[in-house]
Amino acid sequence: MVLEIPLLRDESLLLRPHTKADADAVVARSVDPLTIAWTTVPLDYTRDMALNYIRAVGTPQQDTVSWALENGGRYAGSIDLRWQGAGTGGLGFVTSPEFRGQGLMSRAVRLAVGYAFDTLGWEQLNWSSNVGNLGSYKAVWRNGFPLPVSVPHMLAHRGQMIDGWFSELESSAPRTPRILWSDVLGLLPRLPAAPGPDTAAS
C-alpha cells in the first residue's frame, strides 16, 4: 500500500515531507560520527546522496512513510514507519546532532506511534537498534516500549552481523514508560563500549 505523508504537529515540532531545502542538514547529520557509528548511513556522504534520499522519501512510498522533523523552522532529523505485514510495522529514526538530548525525538515517536495505531490501524510496532544505543531506546521507552531483548547477530552493520536490541509495542498498550529510567539502566545487560548515548538509530 502507498502511504501518504500527513503533517503531524506537537507544539513547536512539525513532522512533514522532506524537501530539497533539507539537503545540507541531511548531509550534516549523516557525516556526524555518532550517526555513522550507530546507523548504516553510507560513508563519505555527499550532497548528491542527500538529494537522492530526499527524492526517494519526500513523496508517498510503497509501505513506508517518512517524515522530516522541523523545530523552529530547522530540520532536526528524520523518522519513518515501515509496513511489515500482518498488522505489524517498524519504526526508525535519526536525530540531527544539534537537537540531541532535548526529548525532541521522543515527541516525534509519540506522533508517529499515534498515527500508526490510531489512523493506519496497525496492531504492533517494533523498534530495533545496535546493542548499546541508549539514546534511541530512550525515545521509544518514553512512549511505552518495553525493555528490549538482546538478539545475537541480529543486524547487518558495515559488513558484519552484530547483536541487536528489539522491542515491540502493541496498539492496546499504554504509551507511557513502563519502568523508571534508572531501573532500565540497572536491568539492561552490561553494555559494550559505545561512542555515546545521545544519538538515535535509524
Bridge partners (DSSP) listed for residue 183:
none
What are the pLDDT digits (tens) for 151-180? Answer: 999 999 999 999 999 999 999 999 999 999
> pTM value?
0.92
Q: Above 50 in pLDDT, residue 200?
A: no
Q: What are the chain's domains?
A: 2-187 (3.40.630.30)
* 35-62 pLDDT, tens digit each: 999 999 999 999 999 999 999 999 999 9
Please give the Cα distance from 73 to 197 (Å, whole number): 26
In Å, how far from its chain's centre is CA 94?
5
In angstroms and rounded to an integer, the radius of gyration of the C-alpha atoms of the chain is 16
**Host H or E run for residue 56:** helix 47-57
Q: What is the pLDDT of residues 128-150, one digit of tens each?
A: 999 999 999 999 999 999 999 99
Cα distances (Å, whole numbers) of residue 190 to 17, 167, 185: 38, 18, 9
Instruction: Output DSSP code: residue 148.
Output: P
